[in-house]
């Protein structure tokens, strides 16, 4: 056996409907020999490290549709959180060697060091088509045998009606120093990404607070604005967050993205529904209804705002793939939100102007 080769351990991925995929184990050895979670797919061509370390994937197994993953390695600078929260990854071909001047580690090595298990050699095209046809569903993978995996998949609750934000939010308040602006912004951490904080820090000092921080504590900080971050899972159990948003609206400007967008909309009375297989990727076309410009956006969510369910807000953006609401602007209070990631990380930078829009809103309110 050559030095750069290793013995492969045959494994299987079993979905809750009984569909079976064959591959081999990569990354960390899972506790109990298997991993379970809600199986989704992501269509990015690069940026696998940012995807894996995005807290919004808590409770989920990420399938990468691009066939070659890991070819440029990983580095500490591109992590979107201090620790990954995804359950595992599924890939077609995990690169045996990486080549990039920024890399200080291989992807398989990173998976092992971070305790993330994966399954490679899977027919990810077949798996993606299956999820597109039937919707995201629970699944389990490992080397413990198909029957045990079937049982684990059938018992996996998925992400519906589960408060996953509590598993990813920070434990205590912390500050991010300004890198240019003079504003003070409080950012609710529902699973905030590092790249978002870097963008916000250009506007001023950022005070990051845990998801359960009361509106009284936030308003006592006398912020110029409040940011509602991205985060994982179903917004339905997050009543405590919506109560705080309700108390903040109208007192300071508010900007929300992804889960923060859904929570703002719900606070205004909107209905939320679950998409069949979600929007996960770096190439979703979104139309700005005010300018007519089409932006290519980075997206990662499973839930969406129902059309026609918001009374006190106008729709500003729509997803051109399926016509779903991708942005709103409140009519009676200074607040707006989008259902995608203007900070990219990974993805295109077409929507970075939204941070400037937030800055302008802070200026008008001040």
Examine the residue annotation and report whether 261 is marked as an active-site residue of this protein.
no
Label each residue of the chain as H, E or C: CCCCCCCCCEEEEEECCCCEEEEEEEECCCHHHEEEEEEEEECCCCCHHHHHCCHHHCCEEEEECCCEECCCCECHHHCCCCCCCCCEEECCEECCCCCCCCCCECHHHHHHHHCCEEEECCCHHHHHHHHHHHCCEEEEEECCCHHHHHHHHHHCCCCCCCCCHHHHCCCCCEEECCCCCCEEEEEEECCCCHHHHHHHHCCEEEEEEECCCCHHHHHHCCCCEEEECCCCCCCCCCHHHHHHHHHHECCECEEEECHHHHHHHHHCCCCEEEEEEEEEEEEEEEEECCCCCEEEEEEEEEEEECCCCCCCEEEEEEECCCCCEEEEEECCCCEEEECCECCCCCCCCCCCHHHHHHHHHHHHHC
What pLDDT score was predicted for residue 5? 45
**CA separation (Å) from 270 to 29, 151, 274?**
43, 37, 13
What pLDDT score was predicted for residue 365? 56
How many residues are recorded in the chain? Answer: 366
What pLDDT score was predicted for residue 345? 86
Its pTM stands at 0.95
Q: Where in the chain is the domain with CATH 3.50.30.20?
A: 10-155
Examine the residue annotation and report whether 330 is marked as an active-site residue of this protein.
no
What pLDDT score was predicted for residue 364? 65
Beta 294-305 vs 272-288: how paired, if at all? antiparallel
**What are residue 22's phi and psi, to 5 degrees?**
-110, 145
Degrees, nearest 5: CA angle 197-220-193:
15
Check 50, 330, 341, 359 and give the catalytic one.
Answer: 341
Tens of pLDDT along the chain (366 residues)?
344 446 789 999 999 999 999 999 999 999 999 999 999 999 999 999 999 999 999 999 999 999 999 999 999 999 999 999 999 999 999 999 999 999 999 999 999 999 999 999 999 999 999 999 999 999 999 999 999 999 999 999 999 999 999 999 999 999 999 999 999 999 999 999 999 999 999 999 999 999 999 999 999 999 999 999 999 999 999 999 999 999 999 999 999 999 999 999 999 999 999 999 999 999 999 999 999 999 999 999 999 999 999 889 999 999 999 999 999 999 999 999 999 999 988 989 999 999 999 999 998 655
Q: Which CATH class is domain 165-365?
A: alpha beta
Q: Where in the chain is the domain with CATH 3.40.50.880?
A: 165-365
Check 86, 258, 304, 330 and give the catalytic one.
Answer: 258
Examine the residue annotation and report whether 216 is marked as an active-site residue of this protein.
no
Q: Are 207 and 187 in contact (CB under 8 A)?
A: yes
Q: What is the CA radius of gyration of the chain?
A: 20
Check 156, 295, 343, 359 and give the catalytic one.
Answer: 343
Tokens of 27: 């990354």
Q: Are 345 and 195 in contact (CB under 8 A)?
A: yes
Q: Which CATH class is domain 10-155?
A: alpha beta
How many C-beta atoms lie closer than 10 Å to residue 122's C-beta? 23
């Amino acid at each position: 056996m050559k030095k750069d080769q290793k013995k492969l351990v045959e494994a299987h991925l079993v979905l809750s409907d009984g569909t079976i995929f064959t591959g081999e184990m990569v990354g960390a050895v899972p506790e109990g020999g298997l991993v379970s979670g809600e199986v989704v797919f992501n269509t990015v061509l690069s940026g696998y490290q940012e995807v894996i370390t995005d807290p919004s994937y808590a409770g989920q197994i990420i399938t990468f549709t691009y066939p070659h993953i890991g070819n440029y390695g990983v580095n500490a600078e591109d992590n979107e959180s201090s620790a990954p929260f995804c359950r595992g990854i599924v890939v077609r071909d995990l690169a045996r060697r990486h080549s990039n001047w920024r890399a200080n580690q291989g992807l398989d090595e990173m998976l092992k060091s971070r305790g993330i298990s994966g399954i490679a050699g899977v027919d990810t095209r077949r798996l993606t088509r299956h999820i597109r046809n039937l919707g995201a569903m629970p699944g389990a993978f490992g080397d413990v045998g198909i029957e045990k995996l079937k049982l684990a998949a059938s018992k996996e609750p998925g992400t519906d009606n589960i408060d996953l934000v509590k598993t990813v939010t920070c434990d205590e308040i912390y500050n991010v120093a300004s890198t240019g602006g003079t504003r003070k912004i409080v950012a609710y951490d529902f699973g905030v990404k590092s790249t978002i904080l870097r963008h916000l820090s250009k506007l001023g000092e950022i005070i990051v607070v845990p998801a359960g921080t009361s509106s009284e504590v936030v308003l006592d900080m006398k912020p110029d604005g409040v940011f509602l971050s991205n985060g994982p899972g179903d917004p339905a159990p997050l009543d405590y967050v919506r109560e705080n948003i309700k108390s903040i609206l109208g007192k300071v400007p508010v900007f929300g993205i992804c889960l923060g967008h859904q929570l703002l909309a719900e606070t205004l009375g909107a209905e939320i529904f679950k998409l069949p297989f979600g929007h996960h990727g770096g190439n979703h076309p979104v139309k700005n209804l005010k300018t007519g410009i089409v932006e290519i956006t980075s997206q990662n969510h499973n839930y969406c705002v129902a059309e026609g369910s918001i009374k006190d807000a106008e729709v500003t953006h729509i997803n051109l793939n399926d016509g779903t609401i991708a942005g709103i602007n409140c009519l009676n209070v200074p607040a707006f939100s989008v259902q995608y990631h203007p900070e990219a990380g990974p993805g295109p930078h077409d929507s970075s102007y939204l941070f400037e829009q937030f800055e302008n809103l802070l200026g008008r309110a001040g």
